[in-house]
Amino acid sequence: MNLFIMRTIEEEIQQSKFKSKEQKVHVNIVYTGQYISQKLESVIKKFDINLPQFNIMSIVRGQNDTPINIKDIQRRMVHQMANTSRVVTALVSKGLAERTPSPNDKREVTISLTKKGHFTLEQLDDLIPRFLVSQFSHLSEEEIEQLNNILNKVREY
């Protein structure tokens, strides 16, 4: 039997009052996102990568073996950051990605995954969906859809 004990955001961060309901929802979204990210990080760290590295590898793989430049990677990242080049350097040093000078612009490099990078993502392809299902298993299909719609609506403004 899976016992689920729901704790409020107030209990989680030990803060009894917020200045407004908007502040409360903001804190709740940020806290919950960080909470899920930390749990996902514990799943992928077994493969010697972190979330930004996983994010970049997923973006590169999404190119269907077409190399991508760092600026385009930055635009598509879930976890936006200024040090994308350093994350790519770490992936290259781990043998998961490779840099290639762009044939069109010698100042630019493109990134592609190595066989080891593809293999790592293939292993994660089994684990990540199971993690996500376990993370949201206490929500109904309708609640998941509602949550997605609400979050989409928040970004519309």
Strand partners, 109: 101
pTM tops 0.85, yes or no: no
Residue type, 115: K
DSSP 3-state of 103: coil
Alpha helix (H) ranges present in the chain?
9-13, 21-44, 51-61, 70-76, 84-93, 115-136, 141-156
Q: pLDDT digit string (tens) for 33-73?
A: 999 999 999 999 999 999 999 999 999 999 887 888 888 89
pLDDT for the residue numbered 13: 81
Cβ-Cβ contacts under 8 Å for 135 (sequence gap 6 or more):
36, 39
Which pair of structure tokens corresponds to residue 44?
Answer: 């992928």
Give the closest residue to 120 by CA, choosing from 60, 70, 48, 62. 48
pLDDT for the residue numbered 41: 94
pLDDT for the residue numbered 1: 43
Dihedral over Cα of 62, 100, 56, 54: its sign:
positive
pLDDT for the residue numbered 102: 78
pLDDT for the residue numbered 3: 53
Low-confidence residues in the chain, pLDDT < 50: 1
d(CA 55, CA 59): 6
